[in-house]
Structure 1
Amino acid sequence: MSSSTSSSDPGVWRRFVTRAVATTMIGVAAVYAFVALVDPWGVLPFHIPAERPPISTNARYAFAGLARSDRFDAAIFGTSTMRMLRPAELNQAFDARFANLAMNAATAYEQSRLFDVFLRAHPRPRAVVIGLDHVWCDAGPLQRYTPRAFPETFYEASPWPAYREMLSFYAVQEAVRQFAVMTGLMRPRYGRDGYTRFLPPEDRYDAARAAANLPPIAAGVDWTVPTPPVETDFPPLALLQRMVAETPAEARTILVFMPLWLGSQGAPGSGGAAQAEDCKRQVVAIAQARAGTVVLDFWRPSPITREPTHYWDPMHYRDAIAERIEAALRQAARTTPAQTEDYAVLAP
């Protein structure tokens, strides 16, 4: 006797597939709703009302929301050479609330996009500090991205395209982590103002190991000899020019050439030194087009850049040097700082 509900009955399979698809769609919708409501990066227009500290190791995701936060009215931009600067050490001098939005290996394009987000959210910022290094003085074609993912939708004027980024395994993972932080189940790994120490603790500094990673300073070179600039096209500086020009006049704006280790700087008379001098010349011209813009140059032979024990590697300096840079910025908050052995004042 044959069964009327044989497993080969097409209707049975049709109902099974329909139920499976419906269950899957409901599950996906529930997960998506969870991610969107938690909004792990703080970029969506509708989400659970709660503070969202940075949680992602890729700051390109984490900082788009931080740049929009109304807890800040001033910002630091740059690569990892600016990450050692502590917002809390600048707030009082500038009468502002800083966020450090510097990102590891950030291209000039990525920095400019983050700057756009900050300025749209803060049309009257108190201060802007932009760190300059080799990224801005690159004579090659403009590099937009690095191997790190850059979510362009997070940086658009409209928040709605960002919803497209919420349906991914990465979004689910970060939503779970953010929810754990929001509910007190997990401590945030990164500072709520963007500052997080990413270098080893000072008590783990090994001078011999650090020195082994530093290019040697060329022997017998007179570093006081000036190098004439060689006219060079630096595509990133077009972005810097726009950023400086768009910064409101009342915002204190400081551009800082960072103190790269002297052995990684071009020796006087070399092609690298000539290009660096022309980059500085063009930055000064950009600054002079906007009244009150300050340019500090730590990227030069100095007591900082000559001493190997000041560095972890050719780009990253130690805490004591960060404090010296912070002190110069505090002085520049109200007036043009005095010239010192550590840096030159290139503008105004």
Structure 2
Amino acid sequence: MPPDTASHAESAAIWRLFTGLLLGAAGLAGLLVLAFVAALDPYGLRAAPGRVPGPIMDLNQRFMYPQVVRSGAYDAAVFGTSTARLLDPRALDRAFGGHFANLAMNAATPWEQTQLARLFLARGPATALLFGLDAPWCEADADRKRLTFRAFPPWLYREPLAWTAMFHQWNQQSVEIAGRALLHRLGRLPARIRGDGYEVFTPPESRYDAARAAAHIHGDAPLPEASAQGAPTAQGAPAARKAPTEADPATPALPWLDELLGLAPADSRKIVAFMPVNVAAQPEPGSAAAAREAVCKARVAEIARRHGATAVDFRIPSSVTRDDTQYWDALHYRLPVADRIVSALRRVVAEGRDDPDGFYRVLAAPRAAAP
């Protein structure tokens, strides 16, 4: 064989060996990463009754709450958005019995809330369910606005989990969360939030600044429909020509609520509550948005009555929702308000009537709760 040919063949062999070693090393590294993530199980794929769920280490609750459900440690749950996250499960335990988890997720769409509630109901009998409702449940396009910019892992919401679920964790985010879980096991990093899903995500009460809160409330609140354009209102904002009221507005998310309440055991306690946002975030009285919301609330009341559920409305003008000092911003109330909501829900279930002070209205109450 000529020297040039031999040299070329030797070089090609070396490159083949190098490529093989490189691919083999990359494959081995990938398998080691997968093994590391599988061993730490950051999203609780192995969570089951009798097995203590892992720590909640991810910022995105959509990835973490399925393992809380699969642990079987909770027979009651709160579903909703951040407007329900300050309801302390331990206070709800004392009010209603059972063992509550707070599974409300930041900015969760009705569809996302439905997926988590279905998973919870599929895992076993529920003694109590509390749905904290917000405006998106009444929107005409709720069935199309299913996701947000936050990632949602549908593979974690299948019951039972598919065997391929492990491979969905083969990514940088899962490695990071697994690393946090390892640091937690080593005592170097605390869990992000409590194991029952509860977190005080608002700043410490000692740092409350009423002026700053008022700026957030009136600067961040959605512009009321009746003050979008036109003549100035009493607050100085231009008033709009009122849009025509819909005779039969579409509320495509409400059949999901109907289905969920139907899946719950007949003897379980079922509560549906419109959460108390500041009046700055409520629709302008007399507007088309207010009329749509009134129809939505009436439909929720009908659904609740059909399933023996209690429906209560905190999303009304009241001494609480008109008081800016009760809020951090237009949507998020302070901790004392959360305690007051739990006490109010207990009273609603016991008495089945409106609050004399106007904090809430009872939309539906089971006959057993009536005085």
8 Å CA contact 1:94, 1:330 repeated in 2: yes
Partner of 2:203: 200
- Read off the aligned partner of 2:182 and give its amino acid letter: F
Deviations 1:59-91 (A, max 9, x none): 111111112222111100000000111111111
Change (3 A) 1:80 1:157: same
Task: After superposition, give the CA deviation of every residue in 1:192-216 in whole Å (9 maximum; x if it has no partner).
Answer: 1101111111111111111122239
* 2:160 match: 158
Answering whether residue 183 of structure 2 is matched by residue 180 of structure 1, we say: yes
Report whether the alignment pairs 1:283 with 2:283: no
Shift of the 203–230 alpha-carbon distance from structure 1 to 2, 3 Å rule, reads farther
What's the offset of the Cα at 1:339? 3.0
Which residue, 69, 75, 78 being the options, matches 2:77? 75
Shifted more, 7-16 versus 241-250: the winner is 7-16
Alpha-carbon distance between aligned partners in 1 of 2:246 and 2:264, rounded to the nearest angstrom: 28
| Alignment correspondent of 1:299 | 315
1:321 pairs with 2:323: no
1:13-28, aligned counterparts within 5 Å?
Answer: 13-28=15-30
In the alignment, does 2:187 pair up with 1:171? Answer: no
Whether contact under 8 Å (1:75, 1:100) holds in the other structure is yes
Where 1:254 maps in the other structure, the secondary structure is strand
Distance in 2 (CA, whole Å) between partners of 1:65 and 1:219 is 50
Asked if the contact 1:45–1:159 (Cα under 8 Å) also holds between the matched residues in 2, the reply is no
Distance in 2 between residues matched to 1:219 and 1:282, nearest whole Å:
33
User: Which of 224, 248, 255 in structure 2 is aligned with 1:238?
Assistant: 255
Q: CA deviation at 1:135?
A: 1.6
Q: Is 2:348–2:362's contact at 8 Å kept on the other side of the alignment?
A: no
Once the two structures are TM-superposed, the CA of residue 267 in structure 1 deviates from its matched residue by 2.6
Aligned-CA RMSD value = 2.4
Quick one: structure 1 residues 186 and 60, their matched pair in 2 at CA, closer, same or farther if it must change by over 3 Å? same
Cα distance change, pair 42–147 in 1 and its aligned pair in 2 (3 A):
same
Matched, 1:263 2:309: no
Greater fraction of residues in helix = 2
State the Cα distance separating 1:323 from its structure 2 match: 1.0
1:128 aligns with 2:145: no
1:247 aligned partner: 264
Q: Is this contact kept in 1: 2:47–2:70, CA < 8 A?
A: no
Indicate the SS of the match to 2:312: strand
Letter in 2 for 1:168: N
Q: Which of these residues, 331, 337, 347, is aligned with residue 347 of structure 2?
A: 331
Q: Is the 8 A contact 2:310 2:349 kept in 1?
A: no
TM-score by length of 1: 0.90
- Tell me the CA shift for residue 15 of structure 1: 1.9
- Whether 1:59 aligns to 2:61 is yes
1:116 is aligned to 118
**Shift of the alpha carbon at 1:239?**
1.1
Match of 1:225 in 2: none
Distance in 2 (CA, whole Å) between partners of 1:111 and 1:186 is 29
Q: Give the conservation status (yes or no) of the 8 Å contact 1:94–1:126.
A: no
The CA deviation at 1:285 is 0.9
135, 148, 151: which one aligns with 1:149: 151
- CA gap 1:172/1:7 in 2 versus in 1, 3 angstroms: farther
Residue of 91, 110, 116 corresponding to 1:89: 91
SS in structure 2 opposite 1:67? helix
Query: Match of 1:312, as an amino acid?
Result: W
**Percent identity (aligned):** 38
| 1:336 shift after superposition | 3.0
Match of 1:214 in 2: 217
In the alignment, structure 1 residue 31 sits paired with structure 2 residue 26: no
Residue 328 and residue 266 in structure 1: after superposition, are their counterparts in 2 closer, same or farther (change >3 A)? Answer: same
Instruction: Name the SS of the counterpart of 2:138 in structure 1.
Output: coil
TM-score (norm 2): 0.85
Distance 1:105 1:86 in 2: 19
SS in 2 for 1:273: helix
- Distance across 1 between alignment mates of 2:281 and 2:40: 44
Q: How many residues align?
A: 337
